[in-house]
A and B are shown apart, each in its own frame.
Chain A
Amino acid sequence: MQDFDTLLKGAAKAHGHICPGQVVGVRMAMLGCRLLGLDTPSAMPQIKKIIVYVEMDRCATDAIAHVTGVKLGRRSLKFIDNGIMAATFVNLETGKAFRIVSTETARDLAPGLMPDIADRHAQQLEAYKIMDDRDLFTVDEVRVDVPASDMPGPTRFKATCTRCGIIVRDKKEVFKNNEILCRPCAFGSYFKPVKGSINEENPQFAL
């Protein structure tokens, strides 16, 4: 595995800026990989062995993805929207998994480690670089039984929504009122169609 400084530099470049979240993410990922026994997770053959569940969509997530090489589109990065600064690192080969949570108390320790830095942001950034893993994180060994339909690899499962006809991949369809439905048809969605947006009145949207 590359050294911390190199990984942090790369993470900051990939994310767009350097911040305490990048430091926490890089260190969390390095610790996760070490616990799983993976030293080159973003290269073959180890790239096929790791899945990471992140529980927040914030800066640290990008850093974790940079260090481990996991990607949403490769199905090796799973987003669980818990709003918790935590990630679980899974070795698919051994079945070992560790959930690492960033501690809130680390913030309180930062001034003591970097008393000469007045800016809180810069203070945390530098302090998190040198803080002991035991102060920065809590770690639990856990078991994650990854369903076959969540595994990386070619699409194995497809269903057709009986209401709108769209193809639903990876067993994300639901059974409601005796119909196999996509989730938008079953539960509604995050979007609302704009009336008249795709019709003859607006030919620019017509495909």
Chain B
Amino acid sequence: MRKTPSSPFKTVPVDQAVGMTLAHDMTEVIPGKSKGPAFKKGHKVTEGDLCRLMRMGKNNLYILDLDENQVHEDEAVFELASALAGPGVEFSAEPREGKLELRAAYPGLFKVDVDALVEFNMIQDVMCASIHTNTCVEKGQSLAATRAIPLVIDRHHLEHAVGLARAAYPILSVAVYNPLKIRLIIVGNEVYDGLIQDRFQEIVEQKTRALGAEVLETCILPDDRERISGKINEYLDKDTDLIITTGGMSVDPDDVTKEGIEGAGFEEVHYSSAVLPGAMFLLGYTRRTAIMGLPACGLYHKTTIFDLILPRLMAGERPGKRDLASLCHGGLCLNCTPCRFPDCPFGKSA
């Protein structure tokens, strides 16, 4: 047997290889019939394999000779994926080229503990790359991939990485959407007076329905602060998870939706976001109900702040002032034609 001191590989005569682990796939060619792997990398050689190996013309085998501190990449990546994959994240049992792809087990909002993922990637010889946190994902969608970098990884590094991921569990997860009960208030004298036809209702219903929520009730109001406050209070008294108002959020003298919302007695109200389109956005809460004030940009732009915050409310989050400010980096929509959201930088600040 030959073995270099640092190498996990050695060459072994086939008749002495029983119980040892093959270092690579071994292809068998049966002329005119088939060509394929007779034995896969990682296969442990048995007595019964010897005849076939000899028939394949193998006198020596290239095998893995791991000491107790060395772990093969396929075994290591399974440990890494198991530690990284939180609820709603699954992965294949078979690594491909040393990698395991992590996928969404159900539809929802993909969440990444970005700081923990960075720390994970600081550990020698392991890596995990993911899509952005707060991305809406479908069942089966690719979320991340992980691998051990070398073919054989030091057990100490593997245990360090697995330990970190377990301590921060879950680093990767998919949050299910709550089927929120939503009520919609469309504000604007021009709509109320019938001068123009509302288009917001269709947009809001389509975007909420896509995430499994339902708009239970819709009303149209003029730019009247008292009536806006009154309708909000009426909706708050009902079984409402989310109130959405549309229009009346800018600085025009007629625009009083913000004042109407503030007058309805919310415990927490944040006006303005670091997102374009959607700077004049309002987000507020009572203990039971959230409210979103959508500016009129939502009528023109396909994707706005609404598309960034709605999924997070649906996932049970309660974004605040800092969350709205943190959207600044990546908060500028490039108005591409066609729109590729969510496969673009918009709203992808961590």
Contact = CB atoms under 8 A, between A and B. Distances in A.
A174 B92 contact: no
A186 interface: yes
B93 A175 contact: no
Contacts of A178: 175, 316-317
Contact of A147 (B87, B90, B111, B178): B90
B81 A148 contact: yes
Contact of A174 (B78, B82, B93, B176): B176
Interface stretch (A12-20, A26-34, A53-61, A151-159): A151-159
B93 A147 contact: yes
A99 to B, nearest CB: 17
Contact of B178 (A150, A171, A173, A177): A177
B178 A174 contact: no
Contacts of B176: 174-176, 186
A148 B93 contact: yes
B85 interface: yes
A146 B92 contact: yes
A175 B173 contact: yes
A147 B317 contact: no
Contact of A175 (B81, B86, B90): B86
Interface residues on A, range: 20 to 34
Contact of B175 (A157, A171, A175): A175
A171 B85 CA distance: 9
Interface in B144-161: none
Given A148-B92, A175-B108, A175-B174, A180 B82 contact: no
A145 interface: yes
Nearest to A153: B93
Interface in B80-98: 81-82, 85-94
Interface residues on B, range: 20 to 34
Interface in A90-146: 95, 145-146
A149 interface: yes
Contacts of A174: 87-88, 106, 176
B20 interface: no
Q: Which of A145, A148, A157 has the most CB of B within 10 A?
A: A148
B168 interface: no
A187 to B, nearest CB: 8
B105 A171 contact: yes
Q: Which of B93, B105, B176 has the most CB of A within 10 A?
A: B93
Given A176-B175, A178-B175, A171 B317 contact: no
Contact of B170 (A150, A175, A186): A175
B331 to A, nearest CB: 24
Nearest to A94: B36
A46 to B, nearest CB: 15
Contacts of B111: 175
A148 B316 contact: no
Contacts of A175: 86-88, 108, 111, 170, 173-176
Give 7 closest A-B pairs by Cβ, nearest first.
Answer: A177-B316, A175-B87, A148-B93, A147-B90, A175-B173, A173-B87, A151-B93
Interface of B: 78, 81-82, 85-94, 103, 105-106, 108, 111, 170, 173-176, 178, 315-317
Given A95-B94, A176-B175, A177-B316, 15 more contacts: A145-B92, A148-B81, A148-B93, A159-B87, A171-B90, A174-B176, A175-B111, A175-B170, A175-B174, A175-B175, A176-B176, A176-B316, A177-B178, A177-B315, A180-B86
